[in-house]
Structure 1
């Protein structure tokens, strides 16, 4: 076992495991409080001066990174040594460049798809189920083309795979994976122009298994953003000044979406696995050691004056640029944000969201956890001025 690093005891490790999302299961459950581990982490940081701590896990020790300096080392300075684990599917898609595929050429087509699907959300009551159904159509059409728009079974299989992974139901996961892969291959072989599947088909030297992985990661990465879209819509319904600014300025709307992702990140813990021996404060960690950066805790750190506020301005005035967790993302992140912003803009262009309930009141701190399924807004059609198209 490595020496020279502080180690969490058995009880402390259990408490951390219960409070944090472990490296082998980076996706959170809806409504889970991502900040339960904040007092534990603050205590560890104070006790050990910010040094990383070895935590006991079911698959052996994992390194829990606490300081900004060490987080930057893992996430930016030694990217060939600290690699995203294959089990961190969404993170591999959203945090790493997904196999170098030039997907940004599809941005105009993806934005048009988002606008078309969002047109169904401009009247009546919009809840998460309704919004998610439209957004999953966006994801399927972007990745596989219009022929996959109505393939709801594909999305259900992906949800089942994620659930089986969280429960470590290996046999169930293998069964679902086989059905999921077969369905993906059917859509990939259709290779519709203007879709990611079409782009994969045009890319020379792509093995079928590699294309399968790219498409699966993209569908996962796009699909999971629906919670943030619902949360953004709900936040705008209770913050009229930001709603007005977002309707007038796409950059402000993008900032609102990024703020929802900061407050309730879909990947609350960034995980890496060491690809080679690494040296930490005099200790040597073998290759294959999980490294965990508790992103959600850093993004809602008590030292941030805006920690528990809805503050889109931090993405516009340079405040967030000083934070390591807000560093510019890869092309996949930018493309996903662009499509999500276009989706919201299409809704706001035609209607104003009005709050139903007081779950996200502007007069109270933003809660640590919000289950998107509890959010609802009423869309009221906007009146157009005469002569305005």
Structure 2
């Protein structure tokens, strides 16, 4: 019997893949690396060109994984939901996470033996964090700055979220320390020393306060070590994704006034009903998830195999880089109903959270442990805005009936606020 071989792209297909997918992603990474840049930016044409290129590859090769050479080397490209299920089902030990923060999750690059501590601190899998009450107080306090003017602009949103992040991670003493969020440079060592100092003052409900309870495996009784300071940086960096998600979600709600009224009513009623879980906001969270389906903060997931792995009967050696184009799959009209339309109701089903075609936070072992905390923070901030204000888009103006644009740069979003 002849051994099966993996499909490979021809020269023309490789050129189109690089031009439409790899090169724009590289440019996006360069833009995001600049000081003050808003993360999650994507050029306006990149998703549209990329989707057409990936769809053509899938049609030509029957949906099978394809080896394609990009600017960063050869990758095994996942084009079909059948192989997406295997991608997510593979244990983290088989498909290695990136060594850097490219997944936008708090555990990225985190040592496996410390994952249990990270899960405990972030309350992974719990829709309501144990520190929910304290966090909601912080968010309500900071949200006053969001609604102080008559508009919502990216710079103000970033400022407010960064303050809230420092208070949630390190405590109130760190609220004004803007240097903590800067990328490594001259101030890197000084900021690290201050992180350790803030940890000594951190309130018990903060992430650092919760982390210090695990002194047997996370830190030392007399302070945080270098690894723990690095992890605090990762927690703070994860909050950098919130402003873009917040602005896109409010923009989408501005274009869908009926849904906006529904989540505003939910926000006003939150906590008033007996037995209601504060911060749960299921309808608002569904809107955030739908925003992330349409505009994921991480358009591509890249893993590296640690052992020989078989895909559709073809064995690939250890060290193979596997690329899952999340944005393409989440907005693939061939497999996702109403793929280009804002439909938060799709998240009402429990099955939606396990649907591999829609993975705002990943699945299985590679799922982001900060998922629920991220949803709590973003939904709570949206609720604080909408509880007393109506949001109206200034730019861009979206067609509520769709299809929605392929990309939304949060830097270009402007929203007007009016009292309800």
- TM-score in same-fold range (> 0.5): yes
Question: Following superposition of structure 1 onto structure 2, how do residues 199-214 of structure 1 map, counting pairs within 5 Å?
Answer: 199-204=210-215, 205-206=217-218, 208-214=225-231
Which residue of the other structure, out of 105, 114, 132, is the alignment partner of 2:158? 132
Cα deviation code 1:45-103 (max 9, x no counterpart): 11212111111134432111111121121222333201211124444427899822212
Residue 147 of structure 1, CA deviation: 2.6
Seen in structure 2, the aligned counterparts of structure 1 residues 308 and 59 have a Cα distance that, compared at 3 Å, is closer
Say which is worse superposed, 238-247 or 180-189, in terms of deviation.
180-189
> Are 2:378 and 1:353 aligned?
no
Question: Following superposition of structure 1 onto structure 2, how do residues 60-79 of structure 1 map, counting pairs within 5 Å?
Answer: 60-79=73-92
The aligned counterpart of 1:320 is 352
Q: Distance in 1 between matches of 2:58 and 2:189?
A: 43
Q: Distance in 2 between matches of 1:283 and 1:312?
A: 38
The aligned counterpart of 1:371 is 409
> Are 2:264 and 1:247 aligned?
yes
Query: Helix, strand or coil for the counterpart of 2:405?
Result: coil
Contact 1:234–1:377 (CA under 8 A) maintained in structure 2: yes
Residue 39 of structure 1, CA deviation: 1.5
Say which is worse superposed, 33-42 or 292-301, in terms of deviation.
33-42
Seen in structure 2, the aligned counterparts of structure 1 residues 107 and 177 have a Cα distance that, compared at 3 Å, is farther
Contact 2:329–2:358 (CA under 8 A) maintained in structure 1: no
Aligned-pair Cα RMSD in Å: 2.8
Residue 10 of structure 1, CA deviation: 4.0
Contact 1:354–1:378 (CA under 8 A) maintained in structure 2: yes
The aligned counterpart of 1:165 is none
Which residue of the other structure, out of 309, 312, 315, is the alignment partner of 2:341? 309
> Are 2:207 and 1:196 aligned?
yes
The aligned counterpart of 1:168 is none
Question: Following superposition of structure 1 onto structure 2, how do residues 234-273 of structure 1 map, counting pairs within 5 Å?
Answer: 234-249=251-266, 250-273=281-304
Contact 2:106–2:368 (CA under 8 A) maintained in structure 1: no
Q: TM-score, normalised by structure 1?
A: 0.84
Seen in structure 2, the aligned counterparts of structure 1 residues 211 and 187 have a Cα distance that, compared at 3 Å, is same
Seen in structure 2, the aligned counterparts of structure 1 residues 273 and 315 have a Cα distance that, compared at 3 Å, is same
Contact 1:258–1:312 (CA under 8 A) maintained in structure 2: yes
Q: Distance in 2 between matches of 1:3 and 1:144?
A: 54
Q: Distance in 1 between matches of 2:313 and 2:187?
A: 47
Question: Following superposition of structure 1 onto structure 2, how do residues 219-238 of structure 1 map, counting pairs within 5 Å?
Answer: 219-238=236-255
Contact 2:22–2:70 (CA under 8 A) maintained in structure 1: no
Count of equivalent residues: 363
Q: TM-score, normalised by structure 2?
A: 0.78
Which residue of the other structure, out of 110, 116, 122, is the alignment partner of 2:135? 110
Which residue of the other structure, out of 139, 146, 162, is the alignment partner of 2:172? 146
Question: Following superposition of structure 1 onto structure 2, how do residues 8-47 of structure 1 map, counting pairs within 5 Å?
Answer: 8-20=9-21, 30-32=41-43, 33-47=46-60
Q: Distance in 2 between matches of 1:81 and 1:177?
A: 34
The aligned counterpart of 2:273 is none
Cα deviation code 1:211-270 (max 9, x no counterpart): 133222222222212101001111112211000111122211111111111111111111
Specify every segment of 5 or more residues in structure 2 that has no aligned partner in the other structure, as ranges: 33-38, 124-129, 220-224, 267-280
Residue 364 of structure 1, CA deviation: 4.1
Residue 330 of structure 1, CA deviation: 4.6
The aligned counterpart of 1:167 is none
Say which is worse superposed, 229-238 or 85-94, in terms of deviation.
85-94
